[in-house]
Structure 1
Amino acid sequence: MTLPARRLPALLRRARRIALPLAAAVAASLVPAGAAQAHDATGPTLVRTDNGWVRGAATAEGRQFLGIPYAAAPAGPLRLRAPQPASDWAGVRDATRYGAYCAQNTYWAPGFEQQRTTEDCLDVNVYAPPAGRHSSTKRPVMVWIHGGGNVGGTARDIVPDAFARRTGSIVVTLNYRLGALGFLTLPGAGGNFALLDQQQALRWVRTNIGAFGGDPGRVTLAGESAGGSAVCNQLASPASRGLYRGAIIMSGTFGNCAGTPREQAVASSLAFAAGLGCTEAATAADCLRAKSTKEILDAQASTRRSWGYTVGTPQLPVQPADAFASGRSSRVPVMNGATSKEGLVFAYDSFDRWGNPLTADAYPAALSASFGPETGARALARYPLTAYERPAYAYGTAFGDQLFACPALAVDPLLAKRGKVYAYEFADRTSPLFASLPQDTDFDFGATHAAELNYLFKPYGIPAPFNAEQRALADQMTDYWGSFVHGTPPRARGQQPMPEHGSRPGQVLQLRTASAGGNAPTGTLSEQHNCDLWNASR
C-alpha cells in the first residue's frame, strides 16, 4: 500500500515513540551492572535523551552533563544550512567532558590562544542542582547564550553550577556557529544560521529537559554581550515563540539590537565569498562548502567586517526595535540591563593592551574617530579630561555610554510595549577583574563589560576572589536572577525589588555593594550617561 506523503512524518514519529523505549531497554542492558540506576545524593547521573543515554557526573554543586549534541555537525554538505537533528547513538554516551569549540580564530581570553577549525560543535551542557527532598518537582530552566562578538566564545565560558544550586534551577549552556559560518547570507542558502542553531537548542531543551528534572514549560532564555543581542533577536523572531517564558538581556541592546538589512547582508556575504574565489552568486554557497574551515577562518581574519543577524528574512522579518514597538514579538517578561562602565575594557583593548596608552593630546582625535567630528566635539565637553585620572578612562566611559548604557535605557520602553520589563545596572566599581583580563595591570576596569558575570557564575570555571560585601552582592544578584527564572518579579531577600518599567517608567535598580550605597532604584541614569547626546547622534 502506498501511503500519502503527508502521513509519513506522523507515522515515523509514532514508530519512534514505540522504538525508543525498546532501544533504551537494550542500551540499559549494555551498561555495567547497577549503572542503569547510577545516582547519589545529587540525583541520577545516567539519563536518557531523545537520541540515547548519557552519563554525566556528580559534583559538589549537583550534577553536570557536558557535550551533548543537539544537532548534526554543520559541516560538508550541511555547512551554511539550517541545523539538522542530531543522530541517535547506541549504548551510553560519555557526558563528562566538554565538546569542541565552534570554529573560530584566536583572541585574548584563556583557552582561545589557537585557531579552532572544528565544525562538529553544536552541543549543550546541562547543570542540575542536587535532587533534594522534592526531586519529583520539575525545576525551572535557564538557557544561556554565550558572548564573544559573534566570532568567538563557547558554551564552557561560564560554569553556572553554583547558580543552579543556589536558585534551584537547571542551567543549559549552548554552542552556536560563529563568524562567517554562522552569519553569512547567500542566495539559495538563506542565513541566520546562528539564530537557527539557538532555536534548535531550545527545541532540544523542550524535548529533553524533563529527563534531567527540568520543566519545559518554564524556560528562561538569557545571554550577555553578543549572547544578550541573540536574546534580543530571539524575542523578535517568530520562529522562537513558545520556546521560552522569559528572557534576560545582559549588555546586549547595542545598536538597539538592530540587524543588517537582507540586501546589504547578501552583498557583503557575496563579497566575502568572492575573496575566496567563489565569484558566482548562484553557486557561492556550494563553492564555500568545498573550502576548508581554515580557509574560511583565515579569510574572516583578514576582513574588518562585523557579523550579525540578517533582517528581512523569515527568522527576522523586521528590526527587533520595530517588532517591540509594534507588539510583533514574544510577549514574555524581560530583564534588561548593562554595567555602569561598559567601555573601559574596550578602551584598554584599544590602547593600553598594546603598550600605547591614550594621551591627552590624542584624546580629541580618538573621540572624533569613534563618533564622528561633530559628536566627538560635543563628547569632548561632556567627558572632560579633568574629570578622569586617565584619558583612556574618559574615552572608555564615553564609548560605553554610547554603545551600551543608553541603548539599554532606550530599549526598555520599547520592550514594555509588548510585556513587562525589569531594568538593572551593575555598578560595583570594586568588582574583581574578569577572568579574561590581565591580572597584573594597574588599569582600573571597575564595573566594566562582563564584570557582572563574576557575580552570577564562574567565568572559565574560576571563582571570583570576593571580599565579604562582594560575596553578599553576588548572593543578592543570584537571587534576583533566580527569582526571575522561577517566574516571579526579580527580588532578593531584604532588598528592594527590581523596578518594572510599566509601573515605574525610567527607574533602574543599581546593583552595588553595601559600602557604596547598596542596591537602590534610580531615575537619573539617562543624565549620568549623557543619553541626550548619544540619542541625538543616532
Structure 2
Amino acid sequence: MRIAIRRAASAVAVLAAAAASSLVPLPARAADSTLVRTDAGWVRGETTDEGRQFLGIPYARQPVGDLRWKEPRPVKPWGGVRGAASFGNRCVQSASWDPGYENPSHTEDCLDLNVYAPAGRTAGPRPVMVWLHGGGLTAGAGEDIVPDTFARRTGTVVVTVNYRLGAMGFLAAAGLDGEASDGVSGNYGLLDQQAALRWVRANIGRFGGDAHRVTIAGESAGGRSVCTLLASPTARGLYGAGIVESGAYGDCAARERGPAVRDGAAFAKKAGCPDPATALACLRRKPAKDILAAQAGFDWGPVTGGAFLPVQPKEAYENGAAARVPVLNGANSDEGNLFAFARFDGAGAPLTAERYPGAVTEAYGPDLGGRVLKAYPLTEHASPTHAFGAATGDRMFACTALRMNTALAHRGPVYAYEFADRTSPPFASLRELDTDFDFGATHVNEVQYLFKHFGLASPLDKEQRALARQMEQYWGSFVRTGVPRADGGPGAPDQRTRPGQVLSLRTASEGGTGISTTVHDAHRCDLWDTVPAG
C-alpha cells in the first residue's frame, strides 16, 4: 500500500511553488543577520517573529537536461546576493489532497533547502535537525512543515529539504546502472538527501548551527529515508542521530536490483520508449509531465546492492553494519485509520459489517484473512472501517516499528515512542474534508504537534497544547543531547536495557504520558511478526 494518500484528478492538490529568487547586487554591509555567505554565494533571508529563515537555497546543481537521472553535483556559484525569502520549486509530482497541492508540479529545478534559525547569540553553535518530508517518495516538499517555532523553543537550527521523487528520483535501468558511480541506479532521491547533508556540513555553521551535531529526521517516507540512511555507508559521518516517525513500514526494505531494473524497462515502455537500445535517450527527451503520467503503478524507492546501500537496512541493523548513533523511533496508535478511510468511506463506499469479511480476505488471502478476522472482531471496533484500519496500521507501522527497535538495539541506543492521543484533531489535509470520521491518532497526526503543518496552526485544545509542548521538549532534547527528555515526563525507554517498553504520548485526560509495556500485545504483533511486512 502506498504511504502517500493521493487523490485522483478530481481531488485537491498543490500549486507549483514560486520560482527561485532573483539575484541582486551585493550590498556594502554584510553584518546583517539575514545576510549569509554560503560556499556558493551570498543569500539574504528574512526575520520573523520566531527568528530568521532562509528559503529556497540550492544545495546541488539542478537535475535538468542532461543531468536528469544523474547523481547530484555541486551547485554552481553565483554572484551578488541571492534572495532567500520564498520557497523554491516543488519537485515533479501529481496533484494531491494536501493544502496548496491543487495542481501537479512538472518542475525539475527543485533541489533546494530551507534554514530556520532562532534569533540571538549563544555561547556556541546550535544543534541541527535536518527534516526529510513524507509523501511516499512520490510527493511533498520541504515546505510541508514550518519549524520556526520548534527551532526557537528548542534552541536548534532546522533545515528542510526537497529531493527528487517518483520516477525522477528512483528510476533504475540497465543504461543508468552504467552511469552510476557504484553500478546501481535508482537512488537519486536519497543521494539528493546526502548532498543536502553535505551542504549542511559545509555551510550550517554560517547560520549558527553546529555541523558536528546533526540529527536527521522525517515522517512516513521521510522516516523511511532516515532508516535507509542509517544503513548507507556513503551517509556515514553526515549525521550524529536519527528520528524515525512512522517510517519502518515494510521493515524499511529497499528494492532488489533485478526487479527494479525490470520495472524500469516496463516503465520506459509505458512512457513510449520501448527500445532498450534507445530507451534512456528517449526518456531524457520526454517532458516531465509525460514521465509523471507514466509512473503510476510502479514501486518507487531506493535500490540495494551498491555502495550506497550494500544490503537491506534490516540486515545492516542486525549485523552491526548500520551507523552506531542514537535513534528515536516510533509510530502512532491508530496509523491505519487514514488508509482505511481513503479506501472505503473517503471513496464513497463505507465498509459494512456484511462486506468486512470479504474485504479482509481480499486484502490478506483466505488463510491469513481468517486469522485477521479472529484478531480484529467487529465487536471491538467503532466500525468495520476502523477494524480494517486497525489491522492495516498494526501490520504496516506499529509492529514494524517494534521490530525495528529490536534490530536497531544491536548497534546503539534506540528510544521507543508511540503517539497515542486518540483525541487529536485530523491533520490539515483531513480537516478540509466534509466528514465526521474519527481518525484518532492516525498516520501523520503527530506532525502538527511539533510543527506548523503546511504552514497552518493546528486547532489543539489546552491539553493537546500541553502534550505538544512536551513532545517539543522530548524531540528538542534528543536533537541537543541524543537522549529524549521532558520536564515532568518519564525518560524514553532505551531498547538495549528496556526492550519492548515504549514512551506513550497521551493527553492528561487519557492518563498522561507514561511508559507502556503492552504495545506489542495491543497491536496483535504476535500475528504480524509471523507474516511478511506490509
- Which bin holds the TM-score, normalised by the shorter protein? over 0.9
Q: What displacement does 1:370 show?
A: 1.9
Matched, 1:535 2:529: yes
Cα distance, 1:449–1:383 mapped onto 2, change above 3 Å: same
Of 56, 78, 90, 1:89 maps to: 78
Q: What displacement does 1:187 show?
A: 1.7
Of 493, 496, 502, 2:490 maps to: 496
CA distance in 2, matches of 1:283, 1:269: 13
Of 425, 429, 439, 1:432 maps to: 425
**Does structure 2 retain, via aligned residues, the 8 Å contact 1:186–1:284?**
no
Q: The residue matched to 1:37 in structure 2 has which SS?
A: coil
Provide Cα deviations, 1:75-109, integer angstroms capped at 9, x if missing partner. 11000110111111111000000000100011111
Provide Cα deviations, 1:163-187, integer angstroms capped at 9, x if missing partner. 0001000000000000001011112
Matches within 5 A, 1:283-302: 283-300=278-295
* Match of residue 465 from structure 2: 471
* Match of residue 20 from structure 1: none
Q: What displacement does 1:281 show?
A: 3.2
CA distance in 1, matches of 2:220, 2:204: 26
**Does structure 1 retain, via aligned residues, the 8 Å contact 2:186–2:301?**
no
Provide Cα deviations, 1:26-58, integer angstroms capped at 9, x if missing partner. x99x43454x222xxxxx100000110000010
CA distance in 2, matches of 1:234, 1:287: 32
* Match of residue 372 from structure 1: 365
Which amino acid in the other structure matches residue 437 of structure 1? L
* Match of residue 341 from structure 1: 334
**Does structure 1 retain, via aligned residues, the 8 Å contact 2:241–2:482?**
no
**Does structure 1 retain, via aligned residues, the 8 Å contact 2:463–2:507?**
yes
**Does structure 2 retain, via aligned residues, the 8 Å contact 1:183–1:307?**
yes
* Match of residue 323 from structure 1: 316
What are structure 1's unaligned runs of at least 5 residues?
Answer: 1-26, 39-43
Superposition RMSD on alpha carbons, in Å? Answer: 1.3
Of 93, 118, 129, 1:142 maps to: 129
CA distance in 2, matches of 1:54, 1:239: 29
Q: The residue matched to 1:365 in structure 2 has which SS?
A: helix
Q: Structure 1 length normalisation: TM-score?
A: 0.91
**Does structure 1 retain, via aligned residues, the 8 Å contact 2:50–2:149?**
yes
Of 406, 410, 415, 2:399 maps to: 406
Provide Cα deviations, 1:369-416, integer angstroms capped at 9, x if missing partner. 222221111111111111122111111111000100000001111001
Of 250, 256, 262, 1:255 maps to: 250
Which amino acid in the other structure matches residue 46 of structure 1? L
Matched, 1:185 2:179: no
* Match of residue 16 from structure 2: none
Q: What displacement does 1:305 show?
A: 2.1
What are structure 2's unaligned runs of at least 5 residues?
Answer: 1-22, 177-184
* Match of residue 420 from structure 1: 413
Provide Cα deviations, 1:310-329, integer angstroms capped at 9, x if missing partner. 11122111000000000111
Which amino acid in the other structure matches residue 340 of structure 1? S
Which amino acid in the other structure matches residue 126 of structure 1? V
Q: What displacement does 1:457 show?
A: 0.4
Which amino acid in the other structure matches residue 448 of structure 2? N
Of 66, 74, 79, 2:63 maps to: 74
Q: What displacement does 1:258 show?
A: 0.4
* Match of residue 382 from structure 2: 389
Provide Cα deviations, 1:270-318, integer angstroms capped at 9, x if missing partner. 1101112322335432221111101101112xx3222111111221110
Q: Structure 2 length normalisation: TM-score?
A: 0.92
* Match of residue 41 from structure 1: none
CA distance in 1, matches of 2:77, 2:28: 23
Which amino acid in the other structure matches residue 425 of structure 2? P
**Does structure 2 retain, via aligned residues, the 8 Å contact 1:425–1:510?**
yes
* Match of residue 182 from structure 2: none
CA distance in 1, matches of 2:113, 2:332: 27
CA distance in 2, matches of 1:120, 1:427: 39
Q: The residue matched to 1:501 in structure 2 has which SS?
A: coil
CA distance in 2, matches of 1:192, 1:246: 22
Matched, 1:453 2:444: no
Q: The residue matched to 2:430 in structure 1 has which SS?
A: coil
CA distance in 1, matches of 2:519, 2:302: 29
Matched, 1:486 2:497: no
* Match of residue 502 from structure 2: 508
Highest CA radius of gyration, 1 or 2?
A: 1
Q: What displacement does 1:363 show?
A: 0.9
CA distance in 1, matches of 2:363, 2:330: 23
| Deviation >3 Å, runs of 4+ | 30-34, 280-283
CA distance in 1, matches of 2:138, 2:408: 27
* Match of residue 220 from structure 1: 215
Compare 394-403 and 383-392 and name the one that shifted more. Answer: 383-392
* Match of residue 46 from structure 1: 35
Compare 394-403 and 351-360 and name the one that shifted more. Answer: 351-360
Of 254, 266, 276, 1:281 maps to: 276
* Match of residue 140 from structure 2: 153
* Match of residue 308 from structure 1: 301
